[in-house]
């Protein structure tokens, strides 16, 4: 038995469904009212046999047509009242349960957004989609129908048997005989059906994943002519799901058949015994009619047990699946994490009228700023040997000198900028004893400096950049921003300071402007960011920045998507900037224009840039070489070309032939 099935066996359906109470509690009055109305409506149905008894033993026996018509009127009124009450019950629960479903879906979405990246690395997107759609619809249906009618039918059966025993106790005992075998059957059914129901729901999630991947990857599928192989894979998953659904149907059919047959046999036995008693004069014909009518009225409550149990089991597994995702640990903040903002905003909880916090100033002037007393002392003669002179294409030329690679820093200055101190990282799902992806990383990016990160495939460059905004948590060591440990910052504050552009330029199914505005900033900043990223093509789109880019931005070219991703990274004028090979999809002419504009942005920020090409490296003041999870060299581009063979080989344009394993994430 699989771990999932074992877990299901250990967790009862009742215990799973009780976890829905926090969502149901706000509407409990309506639910209880609906259940009460349904019980009244169902009990009205049990009054109908009593009216029949009165008609048979009264007007029919006395040959009174008027009495028969009066009895028919009573039956009509009872039927209309029953129908009206059931309709009212439905009205009571429809709107509140729709709200419960919406709240659960919103909670799941919010929670998934707060889960660490490692969770999303492990979970297939289709499994999350199925939990947020089909599983929640199933729970709404359960709360609307099975939950209520399990109670209603139980009360109806008890009331019905009380009426039967009061009418003729001997015949009532005959109908009670099937209770024991029915209870045993339902217990066996519940155990088996829960396993099959969970398997079917998991398979729906797998099928959803395949469909989503096929839609998003349709260009690859068509480009390589793999539509048949994808169709075969989909057909195989569909075949498995079909087999599981048929297994569910066989279990339900078997239970329903037995639940129908056993009571029918009992009713037949009661009919024979009652007819004999009527013939002997021990029972009136009206009583027998009422008894049989009551027994037949109880057929649906008894026969529906199988259907209601099946829906309850599916709902219990849907609840378990929902809370599997909800129970996943969110990204935890360190105790006492700093929530102070650094951009003139009030910290959370500050009293009204309090003065906003002043932006933190870097301890060294950013590149391109007017030279102050400290920076004015720097001169070309003070530049360390091998350091690059100011780039003539940059607005920094003629301004303050770049901080020399070998310049001395004061004790306070050493803490500023971005600092990696003994940073080690391994993925949470890595095998015990496996080598870490990053090992003892020590690196200092000075305030206002741009550091290029260079390394072969699988060396851990992307992983290292993901540690700064805490997309992953370091396994050892620490990272500081201007001397403050990022582990002691709230993620909201940290990600307000750090802006990122990933190698894969992900866009969302919204407008160009909304995609870029995710990085913050004002409308004026939006135009500035588009200019920096050389994304003037936006103005030629049908609705300009309001143009919808479509799912994943696939209506745009790769270069256009990358330019919008770069614009998103710089639009908020970030204090710290992390760029993962931001120009890889651009042609050489556009790349040169973007580089020229990007130099102006990099003057005002502290940046770490993953670079694969010399043109990108030249944007940086210094270069760090990452090899097999370690920083093996740091220096200027020219220094490393002269002194480091591996760096020279990487910059020569040669292809890295190292295999990319788990460490290359």
The CA–CA distances, whole Å, from 183 to 31, 145, 191, 265 equal 27, 21, 13, 17
Region 283-300: mean pLDDT is: 80
pLDDT of residue 564: 86
189, 306 Cβ separation under 8 angstroms = yes
Looking at the predicted structure, is the pLDDT value of residue 16 above 60?
A: yes
Helices (H), 343-502: 461-467, 491-497
Assess whether the region 15-326 and the region 413-654 belong to the same CATH fold: no
pLDDT at 374: 33
Element (H, E) at 440: strand 438-445
Grouping H, G, I as helix, E, B as strand and the rest as coil, residue 305 is helix
| DSSP codes, 151-201 | HHHHHHHHHHHHHHHHH-HHHHHHHHTTHHHHHHHHHHHHHHHHHHHHHHH
Lowest mean pLDDT among 73-87, 150-164, 209-223, 554-568: 209-223
Q: Is the pLDDT of residue 384 over 70?
A: no
Kindly list the distances between the CA atom of residue 254 and the CA atoms of 189, 200, 242, 264, in Å, as whole numbers in the listed order. Answer: 9, 19, 18, 15
**Residue ranges of domains in the chain:** 15-326, 413-654
Angstrom distance (rounded) from CA 319 to CA 325: 10
The answer to which of 118-122, 273-277, 373-377, 482-486 has the lowest mean pLDDT is: 373-377
Is 472 within 8 Å of 425 (Cβ atoms)? yes
Interval 477-508: pLDDT, tens: 999 998 889 988 888 888 888 888 887 778 88
| 88 contacts: CB under 8 Å, gap ≥ 6 | 37
Quote the pLDDT of residue 580: 84
Write the DSSP symbol of residue 59: I
* Residue range 300-357, pLDDT digits in tens: 888 787 778 888 888 888 898 899 889 988 876 665 555 554 433 433 333 333 333 3
Residue whose entry in the numeric block shows the structure tokens 């040669």: 654
* Exposed e or buried b per residue across 284-320, where buried means at least 16 C-beta atoms within 10 angstroms of its C-beta: bebbbbbbbbbbebbeebbbbbbbbbbbbbbbbbbbb
| Pairing mode of beta strands 476-481, 418-425 | antiparallel
| pTM for this entry | 0.68
Per-residue pLDDT of 161-186, as tens digits, reads 888 888 778 787 887 878 778 778 87
SS (H, E, C) 385-411: CCCCCCCCCCCCCCCCCCCCCCCCCCC
Fold (CATH) for 15-326:
ABC transporter transmembrane region fold (1.20.1560)
Gap between the Cα atoms of 423 and 485, Å rounded: 12
CA–CA distance, 170 with 35 (Å, rounded to integer): 32
Mean of all residue pLDDT scores within the chain: 77
Mean pLDDT score, 527-540:
85
Mean pLDDT of 1-6: 43
What is the C-alpha to C-alpha distance for residues 451 and 637, in angstroms, rounded to an integer? Answer: 11
Which range among 47-56, 98-107, 189-198, 214-223 has the greatest average pLDDT?
A: 98-107
pLDDT confidence of residue 339: 53
In the CATH scheme, what is the homologous superfamily, with its name and number, of domain 413-654? P-loop containing nucleotide triphosphate hydrolases (3.40.50.300)
Q: Distance between CA 512 and CA 277 in Å, rounded?
A: 84
pLDDT of 273 strictly over 80: yes
């Amino acid at each position: 038995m699989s771990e999932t099935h074992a877990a299901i066996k250990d967790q009862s359906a009742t215990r799973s469904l009780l976890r829905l109470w926090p969502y149901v509690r706000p509407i409990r009055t309506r639910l209880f009212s609906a259940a009460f109305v349904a019980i009244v409506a169902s009990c009205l149905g049990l009054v109908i046999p009593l009216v029949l008894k009165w008609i048979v033993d009264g007007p029919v026996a006395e040959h009174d047509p008027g009495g028969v018509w009066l009895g028919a009127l009573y039956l009509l009124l009872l039927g209309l009242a029953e129908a009206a009450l059931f309709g009212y019950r439905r009205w009571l629960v429809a709107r509140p349960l729709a709200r419960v479903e919406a709240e659960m879906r919103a909670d799941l979405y919010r929670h998934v957004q707060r889960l660490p990246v490692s969770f999303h690395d492990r979970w297939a997107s289709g499994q999350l989609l199925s939990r947020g759609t089909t599983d929640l619809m199933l729970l709404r249906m359960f709360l609307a129908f099975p939950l209520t009618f399990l109670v209603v039918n139980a009360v109806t059966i008890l009331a019905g048997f009380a009426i039967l025993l009061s009418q003729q106790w001997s015949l009532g005992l005959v109908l009670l005989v099937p209770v024991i075998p029915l209870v045993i059957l339902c217990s066996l059914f519940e155990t088996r059906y829960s396993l099959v129901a969970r398997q079917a729901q998991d398979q729906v999630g797998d099928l959803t994943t395949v469909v989503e991947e096929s839609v998003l990857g349709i260009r690859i599928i068509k480009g390589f002519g793999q539509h048949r192989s994808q169709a075969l894979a989909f057909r195989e998953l569909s075949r498995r799901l079909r087999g599981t659904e048929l297994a569910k149907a066989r279990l339900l059919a078997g239970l329903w058949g037995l639940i129908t047959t056993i009571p029918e046999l009992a009713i037949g036995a009661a009919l024979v015994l009652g007819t004999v008693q009527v013939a002997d004069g021990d029972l009136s014909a009206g009583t027998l009619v009422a008894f049989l009518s009551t027994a037949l009225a109880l057929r649906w409550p008894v026969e529906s047990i199988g259907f209601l149990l099946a829906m309850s089991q599916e709902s219990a597994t849907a609840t378990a699946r929902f809370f599997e995702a909800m129970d996943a640990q969110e990204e935890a903040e360190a105790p006492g994490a700093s929530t102070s903002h650094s951009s003139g905003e009030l910290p959370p909880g500050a009293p009204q009228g309090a003065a906003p916090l002043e932006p933190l100033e870097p301890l060294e002037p950013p590149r391109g700023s007017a030279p102050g007393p400290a920076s004015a002392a720097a001169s070309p003669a003070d530049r360390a040997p091998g350091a690059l002179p100011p780039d003539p294409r940059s607005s920094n030329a003629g301004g303050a000198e770049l901080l020399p690679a070998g310049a001395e820093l004061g004790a306070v200055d050493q803490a500023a900028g971005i600092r990696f101190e003994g940073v080690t990282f391994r993925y949470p799902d890595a095998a015990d004893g496996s080598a870490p992806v990053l090992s003892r990383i020590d690196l200092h990016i000075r305030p206002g400096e741009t550091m290029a990160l260079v390394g072969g495939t699988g060396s851990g460059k992307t992983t290292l950049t993901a540690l700064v905004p805490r997309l992953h948590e370091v396994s050892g060591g620490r990272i500081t921003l201007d001397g403050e440990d990022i582990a002691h910052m709230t993620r909201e504050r940290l990600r307000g300071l750090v802006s990122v552009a990933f190698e894969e330029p992900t866009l969302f199914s919204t407008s160009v402007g909304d995609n870029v505005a995710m990085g913050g900033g004002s409308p004026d900043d939006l135009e500035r960011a588009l200019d920096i990223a050389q994304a003037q093509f936006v103005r030629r789109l049908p609705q300009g920045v309001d143009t919808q880019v479509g799912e994943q931005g696939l209506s745009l070219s790769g270069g256009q998507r990358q330019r919008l991703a770069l614009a998103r990274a710089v639009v908020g004028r970030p204090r710290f900037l992390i760029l993962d090979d931001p120009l890889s999809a651009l042609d050489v002419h556009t790349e040169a224009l973007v580089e020229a504009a990007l130099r102006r942005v990099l003057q005002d920020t502290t940046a770490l840039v993953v670079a694969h090409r010399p043109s990108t490296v030249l944007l940086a003041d210094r270069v760090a070489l990452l090899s097999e999870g370690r920083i093996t060299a740091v220096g200027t581009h020219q220094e490393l070309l002269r002194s480091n063979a591996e760096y020279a080989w990487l910059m020569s344009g040669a292809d890295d032939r190292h295999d990319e394993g788990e460490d290359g994430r």
